[in-house]
């Protein structure tokens, strides 16, 4: 079941322990996993004492862990490097001290790690963990702890806990907790929630806040953003650095559509909807000659829907307000109009 080469070896009958020292190379013949390093302690199975083999390695060994599915078919290996490593059986690995875990679809760094690619199908990264997705839909996530959920050895869900930060092609996000849902090694949904750090997200054109946020990104395109409780969506601050358009309510939904730009698919805001104590503030560019300032509209209602102009334009086409609706619309004075001191 196993082969081992080393410069020196000592076997202790008491405890069934084998100590290998110097250029140790160990290979599991059942699944093809290997361990290379300067020192390894191997503990055999002893009925009534130890029901599973265990291995301990120090001196920054390199492990090539090959997972197997329920049919015994090997999967893509994890390459694990750390100052010290403990392995139990063929599927559980603990690592400590400048841990790195690499595979074609991701790269992870942390102070310590646990990985169960067998029955448990999970992993944990602790101590300044950072994980990067390396697929077509790349992403980076960090926090004080990162939990991994596996599905047949593939990472299906990533959860960053405490001071979480995630960056993808679509969103730059901070929160207490961030969850990334992966399918086929591509990011399809991002969730964020928290109390001490309220979720705050930046897309290419918008800022989103709320007690919890959800971003749907199937096919590597932003399709919908949902914000719940104290929800707020705003455009980027304009060139003056003082003003922006925004929409707020108990919940806010932002729907995006895709369009072609320079041969690539891009997402553009199609509709914004706020529900519950909804308010909106937006500016409309005046088309009258000589007027450079925009008109300003502020509206309130039980529900507000903002319809955007088509073809990827960021302009507002129409605003619908329902239930207890009121508001104000302000237009700039035309050029040369004298000020009225009585108003």
Question: Rounded to a whole number, what is the distance in angstroms from the first to the last CA of the chain?
Answer: 92
pLDDT category of residue 262 using cuts at 50, 70 and 90: low
pLDDT band, very low/low/confident/very high, at 263 (cuts 50, 70, 90): low
- CA torsion through residues 184, 185, 191, 194, sign: positive
Element of type H or E holding 319 = strand 316-322
CA distance 76 to 64: 10
Alpha carbons 34 and 66: distance in angstroms, whole number: 8
CA distance 198 to 159: 16
Phi, psi dihedrals of residue 67, rounded to the nearest 5°: -75, 155
Given a cut of 90, whether residue 332 has pLDDT beyond it is no
Cα 255 to the center of its chain, rounded Å: 20
Contact 228, 270 (CB under 8 A): no
Question: What is the per-residue pLDDT for 313?
Answer: 53
Query: Does 152 or 214 have the greater pLDDT score?
Result: 214
The predicted-structure confidence for 188-246, as pLDDT tens digits, reads as follows: 999 999 989 999 999 878 899 999 999 998 888 889 999 999 999 998 776 655 788 89
Q: Decide if 79 contacts 63 (C-beta within 8 A).
A: yes
Residue 335 in tokens? 């050029």
DSSP-derived 3-state class of residue 215: strand
Inform me whether the pLDDT recorded for 77 exceeds 50: yes
In the prediction, which pLDDT does 105 show? 85
pLDDT of 39: 97
Averaged pLDDT, 254-263: 77
Average pLDDT rounded to a whole number, residues 14-31: 91
pLDDT at residue number 268: 82
Give per-residue pLDDT as tens, 169-182. Answer: 878 999 999 999 99
Q: What is the CB neighbour count within 10 angstroms for residue 220? A: 17
Q: Quote the strand ranges of 262-313, DSSP E.
A: 264-284, 295-308
Quote the CA–CA distance of 135 and 86 in Å, as a whole number.
29
> Contact, 41 vs 56, CB < 8 A?
yes
> Which one of 78-87, 112-121, 240-249, 306-315 scores highest in mean pLDDT?
78-87
pLDDT of residue 70: 66
In this prediction, residue 285 carries a pLDDT of 77
pLDDT higher for 265 or 102? 102
Burial of 283-317, coded b for 16+ CB within 10 Å and e otherwise, reads beeeeeeeeeebebbebbbbbbbbebeeebeeebe
Residue 155 has pLDDT above 80, yes or no: yes
User: Residue written as tokens 């041969």?
Assistant: 263
Q: What is the pLDDT of residue 312?
A: 46
């Amino acid at each position: 079941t196993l082969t081992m080469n080393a410069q020196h070896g000592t076997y202790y009958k008491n405890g069934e322990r084998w100590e290998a020292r110097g250029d140790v190379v160990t290979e599991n013949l059942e699944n093809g996993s290997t361990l290379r390093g300067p020192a390894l302690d191997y503990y055999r199975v002893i009925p009534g004492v130890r029901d599973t083999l265990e291995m301990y390695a120090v001196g920054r060994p390199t492990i090539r862990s090959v997972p197997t599915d329920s049919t015994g078919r090997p999967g893509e290996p994890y390459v694990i490097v750390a100052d010290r490593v403990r392995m139990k059986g063929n599927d559980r690995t603990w690592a400590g001290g400048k841990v790195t875990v690499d595979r074609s679809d991701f790269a992870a760094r942390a102070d310590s790690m646990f990985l169960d690619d067998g029955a448990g199908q999970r992993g944990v990264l602790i101590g300044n963990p950072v994980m990067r997705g390396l697929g077509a839909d790349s992403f980076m996530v960090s926090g004080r702890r990162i939990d991994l959920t596996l599905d047949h050895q593939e990472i299906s869900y990533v959860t960053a806990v405490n001071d979480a930060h995630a960056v993808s092609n679509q969103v730059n996000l901070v929160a207490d907790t961030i969850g990334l849902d992966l399918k086929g090694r591509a990011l399809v949904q991002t969730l964020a929630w928290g109390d001490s750090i309220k979720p705050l997200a930046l897309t290419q054109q918008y800022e989103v806040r709320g007690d919890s946020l959800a971003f749907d990104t199937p096919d590597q395109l932003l399709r919908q953003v949902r914000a719940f409780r104290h929800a707020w969506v705003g455009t980027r601050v304009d060139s003056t650095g003082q003003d922006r358009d925004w929409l707020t309510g108990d919940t806010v939904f932002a729907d995006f559509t895709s369009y072609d730009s320079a041969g690539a698919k891009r997402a553009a805001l199609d509709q914004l909807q706020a529900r519950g104590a909804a308010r909106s503030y937006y500016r409309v560019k005046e088309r009258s000659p000589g007027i450079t300032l925009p008109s300003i509209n502020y509206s309130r209602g039980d529900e507000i829907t903002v319809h955007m102009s088509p073809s990827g334009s960021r302009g507002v086409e129409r605003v619908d307000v329902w239930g207890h609706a009121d508001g104000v619309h302000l237009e700039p004075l035309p050029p040369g109009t004298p000020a009225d001191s009585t108003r």
